[in-house]
Amino acid sequence: MDGAWVYLVTGGCGFVGERIVELLSQQDYIKEVRVFDSAAREEVEKLSTGSTRVTVTRGDIRDAEELLAAMQGVHVVLHSAALVDYRGTVPFWDLRAVNVGGTENVLRACCVLSIPYLLYTSSIAAVGPNSSCEPLLRGNEDSEYSGEVELPYGKTKAMAERIVLEANGKKLSNGGTLRTCVIRANTVYGEKAAFLQELYLLARARNGVLNYLEPENTERNHTYVGNVAWMHVLAARSLQQKPEVLAGQVYYCYDDTPSRKGVLVRLQLLSSADPSLRLGSHIPYWKMWLMIQLHRLIRAILSPFWRPQPFLSVPLLNTIVTSFSFETDKASRHFGYQPLFTWQESRLRTAQWLRAAAGSPQMHGKKN
């Protein structure tokens, strides 16, 4: 059936989702890549190639009927749509409605429409750090790590992960079997990464100085967006070809981006765009904690008239200062994953985009 497969990507207009769509559209075994996104952008359809058509539908994964209509005739679903919030600006019930309720809708649609393959984009935030801020150093997919997840966003991703894995092996309406697997992304950088835009503009506004919160020896994985997308493409294809290997499995995203001394990794990314940028001073935990509390107090006092957006939350601060890293080759062993882009290529591509974006009015006018 090669050349006739129809893939659907939820959230395919997002930062990671768009790159997944771009790489899927270059695979000659796929006839159509459908994008289902609440923030649909028609320009994504321009990713169509000679053999693969990209179509975009605006819709909300909380709406089961819209989702069912979009998934008619689909063979493989890559579920990447999510409401992402690290700063505590979105109420928990909204996060849960999208990230958990939306995932339940996708799974139900797969069963009703007999779509046998589902790949779910999760996050390292689904694992930790926990509320005790216990570090995880160079773990892997089998590492034992317990405790309540610190970030509200991470809690919802953990819930969604669980229902996706529990759905593996469910019976479809045509008598077939649903096969699911999970990919856990971490800190994803590259073109259109909002957090890098913020850091870059902040450093430039401070005369090229990049201050930082985490201790310099903090370990955290970063992965280039092109490699994250490539892992999705390979995993989805292999889930079809080798379900006995991939079904029910979880895979961390990785490439050769350094994971130790995370602040220095970010400095390398930013200084590749602007060599004048330099590392500034470490901001002590207690000082930032007090600033967060002060900001919360000001918000409470001014709430009848003005509610400034939180710039940071305590759960996010705890996440930033806690080492949480992994080392694994599971994706390579199970489905032959090798990064498409080296660390040097990833850094240069990101730098080129940052330099171009820094000169655009859209970037200077961006709201946090």
Taking 50 as the threshold, does the pLDDT of residue 365 lie above it?
A: no
Q: Counting Cβ atoms within 10 Å, is residue 142 exposed (0-12), middle (13-18) or buried (19+)?
A: exposed
Can you give the pLDDT at residue 3? Answer: 67
Check residues 229 and 40 and name the one with the higher pLDDT: 229
Q: pLDDT averaged over the chain? A: 92
Q: Mean pLDDT throughout 320-346? A: 96
Check residues 169 and 261 and name the one with the higher pLDDT: 169
Determine the Cα–Cα distance for residues 325 and 265; give it in Å rounded to an integer: 14
Taking 60 as the threshold, does the pLDDT of residue 367 lie above it?
A: no
Range of lowest pLDDT (73-82, 158-167, 306-315): 306-315
User: Which pair of structure tokens corresponds to residue 255?
Assistant: 């490439």
pTM: 0.93
Domains and CATH numbers, the chain: 5-192+222-258+327-343 (3.40.50.720)
The per-residue pLDDT for range 170-215, each reduced to its tens digit, is 999 999 999 999 999 999 999 999 899 889 988 988 999 999 999 8
Task: Point out the residues that are catalytic.
Answer: 153
Cα 77 versus chain centre, distance: 16
Query: Comparing C-alpha atoms, which of 347, 312, 322 is closest to residue 137?
Result: 322
Determine the Cα–Cα distance for residues 20 and 17; give it in Å rounded to an integer: 5
Query: Comparing C-alpha atoms, which of 367, 363, 345, 311 is closest to residue 204?
Result: 363
